[in-house]
């Protein structure tokens, strides 16, 4: 339970910083932004889990102490992770301004200026820009942007919204996730009040709907969405959609919606190329006010390939960690900090290729005999049986001919080899013990 709002958190947060930093700016602490202060809870937003972990571990109790002294009563300190948490003040001011007019549900941080363009996202960017400059519902309508997680779909949709709000002030823009849209629909059905829903959506000039793959299999929502879509479309209102896959691949999307989604322009954002990842890291570190050595940038860009959110997270972690330790950002430090983020590189050459000789060694060691026994003329069962198995494995696991195999087993002829192989093949159909032995040997050999 949180009590009533009592004080501007910024002022009291300044006192906390003063006390905890003792004159030297602490980069990790500076990542935190006080978002709310009630009589019993201070809520801080940080841009990454890493910062949350560190602040919780090292600072929360001391923040609590300072707060308690300032306010004369215990205060709980809560941390929330908001990836877009940035310079404090800025966001609140712009948001407050927006709310007075119409809540477009836009985060002012997501702009075209902050979007790094490369071959992987250029077409989507250009199309988004075209729609933002010309939201007449004729350019690309709908614009459909698809791509994997963390590749910038939300960023682009929001950038369109922010741009239109700035340059076409008279237009009514709304950004929603498909989940919000679904919830609104379900609510209105429950309340028996479809008009409020229609008022909300069908009076828009620009509708930005994020992650439409979640519209899948929600029939009531799909129906309502279909009508909303048609109304807006027929009135030349701009619609922009995003999804994790192209319309053709969204399972259980009804065909009528699928074909609507395909009417305009469908474009993909692919994972960024190395150069784009480098450019993104450069831009983000600039925004953080730090300079990264080239080897660190290359290392991070090499390590994280498929998700820009993760790329950002890794950067933040390195920067925060270095700030925290008061050390320079070096390659060693980055490698150390990102150890658990980086996937094991796939083994290049896994092991020696399987050869007759490696099979002989494996079989001999399994049966605790010697390789020369296998090659010898000995016919006792304890030697002949492993020899048969070894020949069988040579046939199964190498390209060697019967002659070659015979040659390698003390110069036996190919019919002897064939006979041995057939024997093992047949026996393994019924002999559990034998088939288990073969399985184990094959597994060992394959590594
Ligand atoms: P998606 O919606 O595709 O999952 P987001 O738009 O949420 O991805 O992007 C994830 C994070 O990566 C956001 O913080 C976003 O600002 C950032 N990002 C993605 N693409 C770019 C880009 N091209 N340039 C700069 N930042 C980007
Ligand atoms: Mg998204």
Q: Check pocket membership of 116 for ligand 1, CB cut-off 6 A.
A: yes
Residue 138 and residue 239: Cα distance in Å, rounded? Answer: 10
152: left (phi over 0), alpha (psi -120 to 50) or beta: left
Any ligand 1 atom below 6 A from CB of 155 = yes
Tell how far the Cα of 212 is from the centroid of ligand 2, in angstroms: 10
Give the count of alpha carbons within 13 A of 160, CB side only: 36
**CATH code, residues 274-337:** 1.10.8.60
Q: What is the pLDDT along the chain (447 residues), one digit of tens a residue?
A: 444 565 677 888 888 998 888 777 777 788 889 988 887 889 999 887 777 877 887 789 999 999 888 888 888 999 998 876 444 434 344 444 444 457 899 999 999 999 999 999 999 999 999 999 999 998 899 999 999 999 999 999 999 999 999 999 999 999 999 988 888 888 888 888 878 888 888 889 999 999 998 886 667 778 888 888 898 999 999 999 999 999 888 877 888 888 999 999 999 999 999 999 999 999 999 988 899 999 999 999 999 998 999 999 999 989 988 988 888 999 999 998 888 777 555 555 556 688 999 999 999 999 999 999 999 999 999 999 999 999 999 988 888 889 999 999 999 999 999 999 999 988 888 888 898 899 889 888 887
How do the domains of the chain map onto residue ranges? Answer: 9-93, 122-269, 274-337, 356-446
Q: Is the CATH number of domain 356-446 3.10.20.30?
A: no
Report the distance separating Cα 154 and Cα 160, nearest Å.
10
**Could you tell which of 49, 156, 309, 313 is best to mutate to test the pocket of ligand 1, judged by most ligand atoms within 8 Å of the CB?**
309
User: If you measure from the C-alpha of residue 211 to the centroid of ligand 1, how many angstroms do you get, rounded to a whole number?
Assistant: 14
Distance separating alpha carbons of residues 355 and 391, to the nearest angstrom: 11
* Residue 213 burial (CB count, 10 A): 17
- The sheet that has 143-147: what strands, in order across it? 173-177, 206-210, 238-243, 143-147, 265-269
In residues, how long is the chain?
A: 447
| Cβ–Cβ < 8 Å for 400, 367 | no
Atom 18 of ligand 1 has which residue's CA nearest to it? 152
| Bridge partners, 176 (sequence order) | 209
Say if CB 356 and CB 340 are below 8 A apart: no
The answer, yes or no, to whether any atom of ligand 1 lies below 6 A from the CB of 237, is: no
Q: What is the rounded distance in angstroms from the CA atom of residue 364 to the CA atom of residue 441?
A: 11
Q: Give CATH for domain 9-93.
A: 3.30.300.180
As given in the structure block, the two tokens for residue 81 are 């992770």
Q: Is the CB of 308 under 6 A from ligand 1?
A: yes
Confirm whether pTM is higher than 0.75: no
Query: To which CATH superfamily is domain 122-269 assigned?
Result: P-loop containing nucleotide triphosphate hydrolases (3.40.50.300)
**Edge-to-edge strand ranges of the sheet holding 33-37:** 33-37, 41-46, 76-81
Q: Which atom of ligand 1 approaches the CA of 210 most closely?
A: 2
CA nearest ligand 1 atom 16, residue: 155
Ligand 2 geometric centre to CA of 148 (Å): 9
> Does this chain's domain 9-93 share its CATH topology with 122-269?
no
């Amino acid at each position: 339970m949180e009590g009533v709002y009592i004080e501007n958190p910024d002022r009291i947060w300044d006192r906390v910083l003063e006390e905890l930093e003792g004159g030297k700016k602490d980069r990790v602490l500076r990542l935190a932004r006080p978002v709310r202060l009630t009589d019993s809870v201070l809520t801080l937003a940080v841009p990454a889990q890493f910062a949350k972990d560190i602040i919780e571990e090292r600072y929360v109790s001391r923040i609590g102490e300072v707060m308690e002294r300032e306010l004369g009563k215990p205060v709980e300190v809560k941390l929330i992770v908001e990836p877009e948490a940035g310079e404090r003040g800025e966001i609140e001011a712009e948001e407050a301004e927006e709310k007075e007019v119409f809540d477009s549900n836009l985060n002012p941080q997501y702009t075209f200026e902050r979007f790094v363009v490369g071959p992987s996202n250029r077409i989507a960017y250009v199309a988004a820009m075209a729609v933002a400059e010309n939201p007449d519902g004729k350019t690309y309508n709908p614009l459909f942007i698809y791509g994997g997680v963390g590749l910038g779909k939300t960023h682009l949709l929001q950038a369109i919204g922010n741009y239109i709000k700035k340059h076409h002030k008279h237009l009514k823009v709304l950004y929603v996730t498909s989940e919000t849209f679904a919830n609104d629909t379900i609510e209105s059905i429950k309340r028996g009040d479809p008009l409020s829903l229609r008022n909300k959506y069908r009076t828009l000039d620009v509708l930005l709907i994020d992650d439409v793959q979640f519209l899948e299999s929600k029939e009531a929502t799909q129906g309502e969405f279909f009508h909303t879509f048609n109304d807006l479309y027929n009135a030349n209102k701009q619609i922009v959609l995003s999804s994790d896959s192209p319309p053709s691949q969204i399972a259980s999307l009804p065909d009528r919606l699928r074909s609507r989604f395909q009417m305009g322009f469908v474009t993909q954002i692919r994972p960024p190329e190395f150069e784009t990842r480098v450019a993104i890291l450069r831009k983000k570190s600039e925004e953080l006010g730090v300079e990264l050595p080239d080897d660190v940038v290359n290392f991070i860009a090499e390590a994280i390939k498929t998700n820009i959110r993760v790329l950002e997270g890794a950067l933040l972690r390195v920067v925060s960690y270095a700030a925290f330790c008061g050390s320079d950002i070096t390659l060693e430090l980055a490698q150390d900090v990102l150890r658990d983020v980086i996937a094991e590189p796939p083994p290049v050459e896994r092991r020696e290729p399987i050869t007759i000789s490696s099979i002989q060694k494996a079989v001999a060691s399994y049966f605790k005999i010697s390789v020369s026994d296998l090659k010898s003329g000995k016919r006792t069962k304890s030697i002949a049986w492993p020899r048969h198995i070894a020949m069988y494995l040579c046939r199964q696991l190498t390209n060697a001919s019967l002659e070659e195999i015979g040659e390698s087993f003390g110069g036996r002829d190919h019919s002897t080899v064939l006979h041995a192989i057939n024997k093992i093949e047949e026996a393994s159909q019924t002999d559990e013990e034998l088939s288990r032995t073969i399985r184990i040997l094959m597994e060992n050999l394959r590594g």
